[in-house]
Structure 1
Amino acid sequence: MQEVLTYDIAVSFAGEQREYVAAVVAAAKDRGLNVFYDKNKGNEWWGNNFVREQRKVYGSQTRFFVPFISKDYLTKSVPMDEFSAAMMTAVKQGDGYILPVLMGDVQVPPDLLHPHIHYLRSDDFSPEALAEQLAQRVGVAASIGQQPRDVSEVVKQALSYRLPKVTPADFSKYDELDATFEYLRQQFDQALPQLASLGLVGRARVSGETLKVRIERHGETAYGIDITKGGFTSDDQLNFVVGMNHMGGGNSSNGHATPYFDRDAGQPKLKMMDFSVFGSMGRSDQAYTKEELFHKLWDSIVDRLERV
């Protein structure tokens, strides 16, 4: 098996910056750092075609990758091979594994280096001073147990193409409707008995396709809500009827929630059309997970009970 080498830092640069980088590497080695920089074999990371000559480094590990970003680094056709593009992508994503050093008056496009990403400028540091900065970062990483990362994994992640966000083929809004209805029933079954310590009697029962929640005080109904699968306008909704005056009314509604798959969040949610479910004139098209929906309902119940 090929030995896996471990480095403290691995440097990346264009040939024009070799003198400065070589001085940084020498100073870093003087401070006990193990540095990937193979001058003797002529394999500087950006001097030749990395894909052809430096694949072996993919099997190495390093605590930090340090690209020295210059105009040459960004404009040469050979440097911008798939590996350099991958590293720039990692810089763009704010990966803390990457410690960029800007060379000279290079202006990095904002789509590659956002203002919130920390970087150093070579003009502000002698090679020895920059090596000291790197040694301090390595020391902190080692002290907190930060492990070296496999370069190949960083490359793989950075080169991964963005895939479209789609609704899973097996997602069913009706299955999600059933799951939400059952989840609400279970949560009310657990929450309502806790009201007993306050002199309140709570119960939740299912009648057909309706979950009926009632809370009593001294034998009088203090709060009620009916949650029905299938609204009076559509069968793919939960319909909410709040209050005692129109319980069981066929065309009554204080709001309704429709299941859908939130592709950005990667999970099912419910789009809530709220007229007055939560105690006041609602806001339409609010999105909740079933967990968030229950907590919102429970908070509104508590608020109303406090006003009784």
Structure 2
Amino acid sequence: MTSCKAARHLSAVPSTLRIPLAARASGDALFPQLAVRDAYAASILERIRDDGDALPEDRSTIYGILNRTRRFRSLAQEFLQQHPGGRVVNMGCGLSHYFQWLDDGRARLTDADLPEVLDLRRELIPDIDPRHDERALDLTAADWWEQLALPRRRRASPVFLFTEGVLMYLAPDRVRAVLKTFGERAPAGSVLAFDAICWLAVGHAARHPSVRATGAEFLWGVRRPAELAQAHPRLRLESTHRVLDGIGLPYAVVAPLAMLLFGVPLYAVYALRAVDARET
């Protein structure tokens, strides 16, 4: 099966990988202030593109993806500065290529996703470095930590995990289970970064200009940022980054109102840190 046909046969949630890929391929020209300079996105997109399938073009989605990409990248880079040679895991990597930005000559990066995505990825993105590997991953499984061969002991070196455009498609109990497992298993100093929508968007993927074409649905959203750390006593909410800030009207009007009424950003990147009891 060609890469174009394989991309068309992805199931609903995995098929959303086309959205960030298209945004990174075209977004720098639209929003030069948020340019990510992805050296691979355009060529990968061209190989899976089918003239019969429209690609995402709505500006707010492209803006948000570029901004969240920059945020994930900066969080990972900050972690690697603190932990040279540390391990970074992209959970639900799709066709992203973060190694191009995070390779400092020592970092170890794991790209992980469902088998159907990895099959496509291996066709489009060849192995690039011994410090970069790929692993099959199902975040809905109870043993996802073991699937990634993450540290067995809390006294091990910290790890940086991030998941981009994934958790909003999981059921709330599965999201909480992922956060709880991270809290239970992660060595102190480890970070889990992820993007999340406001709970008001749950069940309304059909209203999203890009997601509605995939058949995927939003199942989980944040009601209060404080709830994220409640999944386990070792978790601390380290940062919240509202990725649509600066896009202009009407967001500049709606976003502060939503924060006032509901106490949660419409869309943001969150970072949780695992701490030892003595750090609490």
Q: Same-fold call, TM > 0.5?
A: no
Determine which structure has more spread, i.e. the larger CA radius of gyration.
1
TM-score (structure 2 length as normaliser): 0.25
Q: What TM-score does the superposition give when structure 1 sets the normalisation length?
A: 0.23
Indicate the structure whose relative CO is greater, using CA pairs within 8 Å and at least 6 residues apart: 2
